[in-house]
Amino acid sequence: MKKIFFIVFSILFMFSCEKENSNTMFVKGNIKGLKKGTLYLQKQIDSLVVSVDSINVNGTDEFLLTDKVESPEMYYLWLGKTDKKIPFFGEKDTISIISSLERFGFRNKISGSVNQDLLDKYYENIKKFNDQDLMLIKAEFDAQKSSNQDSILLVTNQKNNLLKRKYLYSINYAINNSDHEVAPFIALTDLNYAQTKWLDSIYNSLTPKIKESKYGELLDVFIKNIKNN
């Protein structure tokens, strides 16, 4: 009965809010095994991560949270009194998050955000680079242990080439998705040590809409600060 009431209430709430504000984001979902606790919807404002909505869960593992989204940006679903958070790219629409109490923050199913889909695909490939790097670190350790200078030099070159390939992948991925907010986000989070010319290339590839987005404007400021300093 509680579940039926929740669904009906959610539909009515979403319909009324959507009429009032087309920029509203609805974050709904299910956390299997969570019967009691508080879920917080958070985002970063300036240098602080603040809560913009919350819900007390009691007797049901379903939830509904909302926020006004001026521009797509990174949000966090935080399970209060723990260090567990689910990061996700929020945008005006309905975002669905399915997880469990046991794997909260580690194994989640997020849908409803195009930027999140693009970010998931990006991180999936970045993981392959990171896995290769771990293998090379082990090879480097073994080479140093045996004092084999040729092997050490070989592994060092392989690590440098892998790093270059990883950077080029990130740059190309951002440029190829320049019509989405995920592009400047990747530049700010994964390419903040890249040469200015590459950051310029990413920024110049952005569509006018994305340049005016939160991360587009932050990337512009970031590049200008580097050049000024």
Q: What is the pLDDT of residues 4-21, one digit of tens each?
A: 444 444 544 554 444 445
Vertex 155 angle, CA 149 and 156, to 5°: 85
Question: Which of the four pLDDT bands, split at 50, 70 and 90, describes residue 211?
Answer: very high
Is the pLDDT reported for residue 208 higher than 80? yes
Question: Which of the four pLDDT bands, split at 50, 70 and 90, describes residue 180?
Answer: very high
More confidently predicted of 193 and 13: 193
Q: What is the DSSP letter of 146?
A: T
CA 54 to chain centroid: 20
Give pLDDT, residue 60. Answer: 86
Structure tokens belonging to residue 157: 């070159």
Is the pLDDT reported for residue 140 higher than 60? yes
Is the pLDDT reported for residue 123 higher than 60? yes
Give pLDDT, residue 5. Answer: 44
Give exposure, 142-152, as e/b (b: 16+ Cβ within 10 Å). Answer: ebeeeeeeeeb
Percent of the chain with pLDDT over 70: 91
Q: Which of 8-22, 106-120, 157-171 has the lowest mean pLDDT?
A: 8-22
Domain-by-domain residue ranges, the chain?
2-112, 117-228
Whole-number Å distance between alpha carbons of 48 and 26? 22
User: Quick one: average pLDDT of 84-103?
Assistant: 96
Q: How many helices (H) and strands (E) does the chain have?
A: 7, 8
Coil, strand or helix at 34: coil
Give pLDDT, residue 10. Answer: 52
The count of other CB atoms within 10 Å of the CB of residue 202 is: 24
In this structure, whether the domain defined by 2-112 belongs to CATH 2.40.50.140 is answered with no
Whole-number Å distance between alpha carbons of 199 and 77? 30
Partnered with residue 36 across adjacent β-strands are 58
Q: What is the DSSP letter of 216?
A: H
Return the top range by mean pLDDT from 19-23, 40-44, 147-151. Answer: 40-44
**How high does pLDDT run on average in the chain?**
91
User: Quick one: average pLDDT of 171-176?
Assistant: 98
In what helix (H) or strand (E) does residue 79 lie, and over which residues does it extend? strand 73-79
More confidently predicted of 226 and 18: 226
Whole-number Å distance between alpha carbons of 197 and 69? 31
pLDDT tens per residue, range 51-77 = 999 999 998 889 999 999 999 999 999
Percent of the chain with pLDDT over 90: 83
